Amino acid sequence: MSAPLASQLELRDVTKRFGGVAAVDGVTFDIAKGDIVGIIGPNGAGKTTLLNCISGLQRLDGGDIRWQGDSISGLAPHRIAKLGIGRTFQIVRPFGSMTVRENAAIGALFGSAEARRRPKEAFEQADEVLELVGLKAKAGLAVSTLTIPDRKRLEVARAVATKPQLLLLDEVMAGLNNVEIDEALDMVRAVHATGVTVLLIEHVMRVIVGVCRRAIVLDFGQVLAQGEPEVVLRDERVIQAYLGERYAKRRQP
């Protein structure tokens, strides 16, 4: 295995147990700087738990996570955010009492080392980010007036406003229709084009194939396969474990 780019994030035997169940079981992979990688897998495969481990919301029971060469296992979430790892939540968690602009500004106000700013600068940065994700026209609205796709955009905007070097996206396309997915894909591409490494969890195959350079398949907490999306999705084990027989049959002419 030769990585064309320097590894930014390295997972080594990452394990997280809940009682007797290993939700994440010895997961090892590297994310290169500037890459865009998709994690797929059936429900309960441990995708979100893995993201929680990376962002520090859950402590590891084994293994190590290294960020730019240094271990970040056991660090508090805010310290990991400061190092430049941003994330979104699958079920969006906007700050409900604030406007769209304020939500994004809070990301800019805290966030990574580069994002530490005064409130006035944070709001300017928020405006740039809202433009990037296509929410500029709704900046002054209350969060409660936003549609679901817009709330997902806001979730991304807040994470991008923290000026991360690595962005973890947890199913930002789930629940969107085809048109909305296309728009969201453009948004992810736009964010990636600003130089941010992206690691995204997705159920929608079109997203993985359309935007990811690499795909990692999780099943029962373990890495089943990884590589180029087209290759991985043709892997027999992946088709059986995740896509099921119906998909396998549809693929045959």
Partner 1 sequence: MIAGAIIATYALLAPLTSLDAVQSAGVPLLADKLWFRIATYIAMFMVMATAWNIIGGITGYAAFGNVAFFGIGAYTTGMLVAKAKWPFLAALPLAPVVASAFAALIGLPLLRLRGHYFAVASLGVGVAVGELVQNIDYAGQPLFGGASGLFLPILSIDNRGLFFFYLMLAAAAIAIAVTWWVLRSRFGYGLIAIRENEEAASVIGVNTTAYKVGAFALAAALTGLAGGIFSQWNVFINQDNAFPIEYNVQMILMALIGGTGTVFGPAAGAVLLQLLIQFLGGSLPISFDIPFVSTDARPIVAQVILGVLLVVVVIFMPRGVIDFFGGRSRLSLSYLRRSLRETSL
Question: Which residues here bind partner 1, judged by CB under 8 A?
Answer: 55-57, 76-78, 80-82, 86-87, 89, 93-98, 102, 105-107, 109-112, 115, 118-119, 158-159, 162
199 pairs with which residues across the strands? 37, 168
Cβ distance to partner 1 smaller for residue 109 or 215:
109
CA distance 62 to 95: 33
**CB distance 45 to 219 below 8 Å:** yes
Cβ distance to partner 1 smaller for residue 114 or 230:
114
Starting at the edge strand found earlier in the chain, the sheet holding 21-32 runs: 21-32, 7-18, 62-67, 70-71
CA distance 173 to 185: 8
- For residue 250, the minimal CB distance to partner 1 (Å) is 38
* DSSP string for 128-190: HHHHHHT-GGGTTSBGGG--HHHHHHHHHHHHHHT--SEEEEE-TTTT--HHHHHHHHHHHHH
Cβ distance to partner 1 smaller for residue 32 or 57:
57
- For residue 94, the minimal CB distance to partner 1 (Å) is 8
- For residue 57, the minimal CB distance to partner 1 (Å) is 6
- Nearest alpha carbon to residue 90 among 28, 138, 159, 27: 159
Alpha carbon 77 to chain centroid, angstroms: 15
- For residue 145, the minimal CB distance to partner 1 (Å) is 13
- For residue 239, the minimal CB distance to partner 1 (Å) is 34
